[in-house]
DNA sequence: TTTTCTGCAAACGGTTTGCATCGCT
DNA sequence: AGCGATGCAAACCGTTTGCAGAAAA
């Protein structure tokens, strides 16, 4: 089963863009891929702290720059919370899916629920809009956090 | 037809909470209601600049404090964009709806599209989650901006 | 008169940038 | 060798906070 949350595949995707395979980028991608496999998401700062355990001199700026790169390559999804917080999680490029996020531990599950395409377009057309994108985010409490409460 | 984007009604709602009817709050609510009627959304800073034209000594902090108040009263919706920007727009309290936002001019239209409740709960349950909320945001280009392009 | 609200200015926190240097290729 | 990427620290920018004074009730 192909998960896509695989360090090598992600680095290859970067290489294809002419980006260099550097030590900080490898460490960051490894962490992102690991978390992707566990279905865990993270903040920029969390990623920095985690990566520093293995590569202590990776700078904060590099983390932001790499997150930006990965996001625009479609390897990372950005989730914006209503309170303005931003979190990220590894993404299978090209797959159409949305997210279900735990309010407590921020575990993220990809879900296939979506509004049917024709309905989306219909609503947009009625408002005189040309649709460019959409997002569906569900929030709740995962089994583990539910049990602990 | 009741739009709800009405200065008096909003101030009454605040009064019901024991909040005082002050000059800055009146000016802010008037602007928010006016924009609500036009279907326009705004940033905190935009609201500050607009209000200052009529009430030049309203402070920035008051704008943030009032936005926070209105949001928690359900009179204002916060829309988080993928790039981290936050915008607000007047909301009819209690109505279940989502948003269609113009990528260019940020005009916001309320839409009734939604994923059916049972489907939402179903997906959540399958993932072991207890659902607490959800959001659906559509993005696109409104008729006017489409024409200008 | 009491309490809430306000403006100001300083603090804050996350993100971005400028720059000299480092290290892929 | 050449140019992209990096770390550092300073700058940034939107937001929040502490506080003394102003204004609702």
Residue of chain B whose alpha carbon sits nearest to that of A99: B134
CB-to-strand D contacts below 7 angstroms: A 19-20, 22, 24-25, 55, 57-62, 65-66, 84; B 15, 20-23, 43-45, 60-61, 64-65, 68, 86
Q: Long-range contacts for A6-9 (Cβ within 8 Å, ≥24 apart)?
A: A6/A33, A7/A33
- Which tokens go with A141? 């409490």
Helix-then-strand count for chain B, H and E: 6, 5
What pLDDT digit, counting tens, does each position of A76-130 carry?
Answer: 988 777 677 888 988 866 667 788 877 776 677 778 776 777 888 888 888 888 8
pTM (2 decimals)? 0.75
Residue B56: exposure state from Cβ atoms within 10 A (0-12, 13-18, ≥19)? exposed
Least confident of A36-45, A63-72, B94-103: B94-103
**Would you state the pLDDT for residue B93?**
63
- Evaluate if residue A32 carries a pLDDT over 50: yes
Distance CA B26, CA B5 (A): 14
Distance CA B36, CA B3 (A): 9
Mean pLDDT over residues A133-142, rounded?
A: 81
Instruction: State the pLDDT confidence band at B138, using cuts at 50, 70 and 90.
Output: confident
What is the CATH code of the structural domain delimited by A96-149?
Answer: 3.30.1490.190
Average pLDDT of chain A?
Answer: 84
Same fold, B1-92 and B96-149: no
Helix, strand, coil percentages in chain B from 3-state DSSP, rounded to 5: 45, 25, 35
**Would you state the pLDDT for residue A89?**
85
Domain residues of chain A, as ranges? Answer: 1-92, 96-149
What is the CATH code of the structural domain delimited by A1-92?
Answer: 1.10.10.10
Residue of chain A whose alpha carbon sits nearest to that of B79: A82
Identify nearest nucleotide to residue A20 by CA to C1′ distance: C24
Q: Which residues contact B35 (CB under 8 A, 6 or more apart)?
A: B41, B42, B89, B90
Distance from CA of B17 to the nearest CA of A (A): 22
Instruction: State the pLDDT confidence band at B22, using cuts at 50, 70 and 90.
Output: very high
Chain A positions contacting chain B at CB under 8 Å are: 78, 80-82, 84, 86, 100, 102-103, 109, 111-115, 119-120, 123-124, 127-143, 146
DSSP states of A49-62: HHHHTTSTT--HHH
Please give the protein residue whose CA is closest to the C1' of the nucleotide C7.
B59
């Amino acid at each position: 089963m192909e998960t896509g949350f695989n360090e090598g595949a992600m680095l290859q995707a970067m290489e294809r863009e002419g980006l260099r395979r550097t030590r900080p980028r490898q460490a960051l991608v490894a962490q992102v891929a690991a978390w992707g496999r566990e279905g865990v998401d993270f903040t920029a700062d969390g990623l920095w702290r985690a990566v520093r355990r293995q590569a202590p001199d990776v700078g904060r700026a590099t983390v932001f720059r790499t997150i930006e790169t990965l996001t625009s390559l479609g390897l990372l999804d950005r989730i914006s919370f209503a309170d303005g917080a931003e979190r990220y999680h590894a993404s299978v490029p090209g797959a159409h899916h949305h997210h279900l996020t735990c309010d407590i531990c921020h575990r993220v599950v990809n879900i296939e629920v979506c509004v049917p395409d024709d309905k989306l377009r219909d609503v947009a057309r009625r408002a005189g809009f040309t649709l460019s994108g959409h997002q569906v985010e569900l929030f709740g409490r995962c089994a583990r956090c539910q049990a602990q409460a």
